[in-house]
Amino acid sequence: MLFFITTTTILAQDYLYNIELTNLSYDVRRKVKRKTSSYISIKIYYEGGSKEIYRQKLGYGSKENNLFLPPIRINKKPLSIHVKGFVNFKVGTDAHYEENIPLNLCPNQYFEIDTHSPRMTNITFRINVTPSLTLKSISTSGKSNSYLPIDSEILLVAKEGFDRNLYKFQYEHPIYGWRDFTSTEYISNWISPHIIRTSAKKIFKEEAEKMIGKTINFRVLVRGGESCPLNNVIPLTVTQAAPFITIKNIQSPLCNSNETTATVTIQLSRKLLGSLEQYKKNREAYLGEVFNGFSFIKAGENEKGGDIDGLPKDLTEYFLQHDHIDNVVLRTASVTTNYQIDIMGKFYYLNNNGQRKDIPLYTDDAQHKGIFTITVPKPLTASAFPTDNKCFGDTKGKIEVRVLGGTPPYKYVKNDEPPVTVGGNSFFLTNLPTGTYTLTITDKNDCQILKNGKVSPVVVKIGGPAKPITIVNEGKVNFITHAKGYKRKDGMISAIITGGTPIDSYRYTTQLQASNGEFINTLHMGTGEKKGEFLALYYFLGADTYTLTIKDRNGCTLTKKITITEPDELIINSIEATPISCNPRNSDPNNNSSINSNGTLTVNAKGGVPTYRYVWKRFNKPYTETRNKTITDLVDGIYQVEVIDANENKAVGTYTLTYPDPLYLKVTKSEMTCSAPNGGQATAIASGGTPPYTYLWNTGHSGAHITGLSAGKYFVTVSDSRGCSVQEKVVLSYPEEVEVNNAIINPVTCYEGNDGKIALTLSGGKGNISVSWYDAQGNLLSQRITNGGKTINGLKAGKYKAVFRDQSDCPALEQFYEVLQPEKTVINIPSQITICQGDSRSFDLSTAFPSATFRWTDSTGTLLSTEPTFAVSTKGIYKVEITDQKGCREATTFEVLQSDKVLEVDFLAATNAYYNYTVKLINLSHSITTQWVLPQEVTLIKEENGGAEVRFPKEGTYTIGLKGLLDGCEKTIYKTLWVEKDRLGIGKENSFKEVVIDDFKIVDNPNNGTFRIEVKLKKPAAIKIYGMDILGQMVIPPIEQPESTTFNIPVSNSRLSGQYLIILEAGGDVMVQKMIVNH
């Protein structure tokens, strides 16, 4: 007998036992030792383990009062509760407790644990253990169930996991109420005590049909646990079970096509219950089973399996007479599938009131599922695996075909050739040239390969290289680069390769071998200029015949012999020289220095690749390189020449060029006397150079010896055979004159002083020399003369003469000297000064006399100041005396007058301005004469009505002054302006700006925030005016006016207070004014 067994997985929230510990109470009433671990612990012990549900460290005052712990839910049977702990008191009896108490199901148990100490109360609590027992009903096919069929069994399933003796199944009899199942009313299994099988026939026997339509309740209780709470109740409705169904005589389809059909026989376990005659005569009064149809679905699913053809029009009438139907046509899926055919129907019956009712037939039993399999051949498919030809022109292609599905054996037709039958699921076609092949494949039942419902032959392409391996640039100038020099390894082979089957879409394997068998490794690989070209570049190659081997991915090979040549060796045949004429130690009398550097060198070379270039160098000495074959104007030295041919091959040679020996000339002379003025003689003696020599005197004489000479200078020139000349002079003179070698003249220290001095150093003369001094008037001086007459002291500024006489008969020598003195000191203070009321006048002499001392005194001689600066504010006569660092003194006296007038001088200017912008200076002085004091570098653009417009050339600090004049009084005030870069972004710095603004006024200035701006331009332009505070923040938004030449703009802003910059922009010109707002 088939018995249905189910197992239930217990999830975390699906528990078996619920444990509730409540009313936990205790109290620690005395002090506890600090260093002890007094505690209380409560554990639940269950089958296979334990769980601590409460733990508390205890101290003085620790207590619980009717504490309710959260419910504990476990899936193992609870066995006991274990309470353990101790308390170490500072004095008196300690508490200690440990008890293990068995647990019972369902009754609420009360426990009291003795602590064995009066200092702690006993521990009391309640605990209740409740099993969570539930019930459900399912059919033998595993579906949830709500019916109790008569002829078919259903399953009552309680929660799994409890002891087998705990389950007590009950049903509620319509007359007798709740009853325990008897042994004949159900079937159970030792392995699964939580499941029973039953039916209406087992419970009600021959009374079962009378129960159709009635609801019977079922439940499961805890055996022996009468105090346990009741669990859920399952209501089931009694109904008739449909006949069981079996599918037989299954004829599956031969091919897998678009429309797959099969035929079967539907066999019922019996005919339908009911009267055929009553059914035909009066269906409204018919009592019995009725078939509404068959449900054709995929087994175990709700998905429709297909269509059913060949069924009788009225299934009920047919199956009241028959228990099967043959040749039922099923339209199925195109794959082997498990199906089931379910019966759909009702049962008509009379209830207790005689009324005709209907109820669904029970069709959820496993035997109500006509489960069967339609075996559909797998679709005929074929996979082709071609092997391409590796090299161009090969016939080594191959196709492997693997066939699946259908019904073996298979056969194929290749390109309309005769059919070939194959054994197994695969076959090979070999020795194929490159091309396309069409294979038509069929199976035993002549089924063909279908795609999208259409016959689809297998089309296979045997590939192969479209072109042979080729060097596309062979024979072109870029294929071979020959060696550029003898024994040089700078030749190259640059092969651009296509064709064959490249590696990685464009690469090939290349190998270059020299004639001696050595392989060349200097290879660069890359792509050619065109798509699909591969570049193999071998470099550093010398002259040789090389073998280039090219292989593609498939090992196909191309071999080429390639020859690289080299030119003959570049050598220097000779270096020819023209010697230098003269040694540079000789000075040519005609200043022709070229004869000291007129050597030449010429190099002759052969071989290499003409044309040649030449680079000459001079070792270890300065020389400007040259690149001519012949170099000229050479001095001595070791010269190197580098000959370079067209391919940069080089040959090097050296040549040492030397000077001739220096040409020397010596001249001897005779002595001159004053008594024989024409008796002089001289002789020239030459040596060195390149003999023979020639002589030429400046008198025209051409011999080596000359006579009859008077006193004077004579020159002689000697020349050698190469034109090298030297000149020497000879001086024929009377006995040596007295000569003043040095004259030191000390000027007078102070103006009109007498401390001048003249000191002379003498040489020459014959014998002792006497010196006589005379002043400018010719008076002989005899005082303060020392050092044998060569030094004279105590001189005033003026001119002096010295007369020198030796012991020869030559005339005396006269020399004139002048002793200077400093200029007279001028103190630049007017002799008379007028000051106005409340003013003072300051003098600053520190610049004019930087290292002097000062004495300022009044008319009484009282010392007023010793500083270089001095200020006077009262009338009177004053004197200043100045002593400079040399001790020279100068003094001046001046008178100060007092006017009854008041002189006020002031002007307004922006503290900050921008260079190359116009800044307006506003004269606040009235009814006086004024004059602006500007640094030299500041440009005055315009001066009008006492005001001025200026521009500053660069960033920096400038001091601007305004001088006022009134009734002989004058006063100057100065203000410092900081000129910086344009950080407000008004315009471009350092750029030329045309002066467009003619006049720019702020009326009034200062003001109280209400003012008027008047602008006059030199030519029409649009303007923009805005205001900034000293931090560069905009305080007056831009005011823009259209193009005009005059503007009058009122402005009112009561929030302004302080100093501001008002900026005017007009036609590229900018002017800035300072404005003061006072409230």
**Residues 40-99: tens digit of each pLDDT:** 999 999 999 999 999 999 999 999 999 999 999 998 999 999 999 999 999 888 999 999
Decide if pLDDT at 9 tops 70. no
Express as a percent the part of the chain with pLDDT over 90.
53
**What are the φ and ψ backbone dihedral angles of 787, each rounded to 5 degrees?**
55, 45
Instruction: Kindly tell me the number of DSSP H helices and DSSP E strands found in the chain.
Output: 3, 84
Q: Are residues 492 and 587 in the same domain?
A: no
Q: pLDDT tier at 8 (50, 70, 90 boundaries)?
A: very low
Q: Are strands 969-980 and 912-914 parallel, antiparallel or unpaired?
A: parallel
Q: Are residues 347 and 400 in the same domain?
A: no
Decide if pLDDT at 328 tops 70. yes
Q: What is the pLDDT of residues 689-741, one digit of tens each?
A: 989 999 999 999 998 899 888 888 999 999 998 889 998 999 988 778 888 99
Domain with residue 56: its CATH number is 2.60.40
Mean of per-residue pLDDT scores for the chain: 88
Contacts for 420 with CB less than 8 Å, ≥ 6 apart: 411, 412, 413, 414, 427
Decide if pLDDT at 988 tops 60. no
At position 302, the amino acid (one-letter code) is: N
Q: What is the mean pLDDT of residues 995-1022?
A: 90
Contacts for 622 with CB less than 8 Å, ≥ 6 apart: none
Q: pLDDT tier at 4 (50, 70, 90 boundaries)?
A: very low
Q: What is the pLDDT of residues 469-522, one digit of tens each?
A: 999 999 999 999 999 999 999 999 999 999 998 988 778 999 999 999 999 998
Contacts for 503 with CB less than 8 Å, ≥ 6 apart: 509, 552, 553
Residue 824: how many CA atoms within 13 Å on its side-chain side?
A: 5
Q: pLDDT tier at 1029 (50, 70, 90 boundaries)?
A: confident
Decide if pLDDT at 1072 tops 90. no
Express as a percent the part of the chain with pLDDT over 70.
96
**CA separation for the pair 242, 577 (Å, rounded):** 136
CB 140 within 8 A of CB 365: yes
Number of neighbouring beta carbons within 10 Å of residue 291: 21
Task: Write out the two tokens for 85.
Answer: 């702990």
- In terms of Cβ atoms closer than 10 Å to its own Cβ (0-12, 13-18, 19+), residue 881 is middle
**What are the φ and ψ backbone dihedral angles of 366, each rounded to 5 degrees?**
-55, -30
The b-or-e profile of 598-636 (16+ CB within 10 A means b, else e) is bbebbbebebbbeebebebbbeeeebeeeeebebeebbb
4 inside domain: no
Final residue in a domain of this structure, among 462, 488, 507? 462
Residue 712 parent element (H or E): strand 712-719
Q: Are residues 577 and 625 in the same domain?
A: yes
Q: What is the mean pLDDT of residues 205-216?
A: 93
919 inside domain: no
Q: pLDDT tier at 297 (50, 70, 90 boundaries)?
A: confident
Q: What is the pLDDT of residues 992-1003, one digit of tens each?
A: 557 888 888 898
203 inside domain: yes
Contacts for 983 with CB less than 8 Å, ≥ 6 apart: 1032
CB 559 within 8 A of CB 632: no
Q: Are residues 652 and 673 in the same domain?
A: no
CB 543 within 8 A of CB 566: yes
Q: pLDDT tier at 12 (50, 70, 90 boundaries)?
A: very low
Q: How many residues are given for the chain?
A: 1079
Q: Which is more confident, 330 or 559?
A: 559
Q: Are residues 488 and 509 in the same domain?
A: yes
**CA separation for the pair 96, 872 (Å, rounded):** 113
The CA R_g of the chain, rounded to the nearest whole Å, is 69
Q: Are residues 188 and 235 in the same domain?
A: yes
Final residue in a domain of this structure, among 80, 101, 131? 131
- pLDDT of res. 910: 67
Q: Are residues 553 and 494 in the same domain?
A: yes
Q: pLDDT tier at 11 (50, 70, 90 boundaries)?
A: very low
What is the span of the domain harbouring residue 166? 135-239
- In terms of Cβ atoms closer than 10 Å to its own Cβ (0-12, 13-18, 19+), residue 84 is middle
Q: Are residues 751 and 805 in the same domain?
A: yes
Q: What is the pLDDT of residues 611-639, one digit of tens each?
A: 999 999 998 876 777 788 999 989 999 99
Peptide bond into 504 cis (omega under 30): no
Q: Tell me which residue of 928, 947, 927, 942 sits closest to 1003, measured CA to CA.
A: 947
Number of domains, the chain? 10
Q: Are residues 190 and 281 in the same domain?
A: no
- pLDDT of res. 881: 95
- In terms of Cβ atoms closer than 10 Å to its own Cβ (0-12, 13-18, 19+), residue 702 is exposed
1 inside domain: no
Peptide bond into 408 cis (omega under 30): no
Decide if pLDDT at 396 tops 70. yes
**CA separation for the pair 746, 917 (Å, rounded):** 56
CB 520 within 8 A of CB 494: no
Q: pLDDT tier at 841 (50, 70, 90 boundaries)?
A: confident
- In terms of Cβ atoms closer than 10 Å to its own Cβ (0-12, 13-18, 19+), residue 592 is middle
Q: What is the mean pLDDT of residues 910-936?
A: 81
Task: Return the bridge partners of 639, or none.
Answer: 618, 655
Q: Are residues 504 and 540 in the same domain?
A: yes
Residue 690 parent element (H or E): none
Q: Which residue has the tokens 């601590």?
A: 52
Q: Which is more confident, 980 or 391?
A: 391
Q: What is the mean pLDDT of residues 790-799?
A: 92
669 inside domain: yes
Q: What is the pLDDT of residues 144-195, one digit of tens each?
A: 999 999 989 999 999 888 888 888 999 999 999 999 999 898 898 888 899 9
Long-range contacts of 839-842 (CB under 8 A, 24+ apart): 839/873, 839/903, 839/969, 839/971, 840/871, 840/872, 840/873, 841/871, 841/872, 841/873, 841/896, 842/869, 842/870, 842/871
Q: Which is more confident, 504 or 301?
A: 504
Decide if pLDDT at 857 tops 80. yes
**CA separation for the pair 305, 335 (Å, rounded):** 11
Decide if pLDDT at 581 tops 60. yes
**CA separation for the pair 287, 316 (Å, rounded):** 12
Q: Are residues 38 and 123 in the same domain?
A: yes
Contacts for 452 with CB less than 8 Å, ≥ 6 apart: none
Task: Write out the two tokens for 74.
Answer: 């476990």
Decide if pLDDT at 307 tops 80. no
Give one DSSP letter per residue of 478-543, joined into a string.
TTEE--SSTT---EEEEEEEESS--BTTTB-EEEEE-TTSPEE--EEEEE-SSTT-EEEEEEEE-S
First-to-last C-alpha distance (Å) of the chain: 117
Q: Which residue has the tokens 């035993």?
A: 444
Contacts for 905 with CB less than 8 Å, ≥ 6 apart: 925, 928, 930, 962, 963, 964, 971, 972, 973
Final residue in a domain of this structure, among 306, 341, 374? 374
305 inside domain: yes
Decide if pLDDT at 1060 tops 60. yes
CB 975 within 8 A of CB 1052: no
Q: Are residues 477 and 547 in the same domain?
A: yes
- The number of angstroms, rounded, from the C-alpha of 845 to the middle of its chain's C-alpha atoms is 66
610 inside domain: yes
Task: Write out the two tokens for 105.
Answer: 């199901």
- pLDDT of res. 982: 66
Residue 315 parent element (H or E): helix 315-319
Decide if pLDDT at 876 tops 70. yes
1009 inside domain: yes
Domain with residue 1060: its CATH number is 2.60.40.10
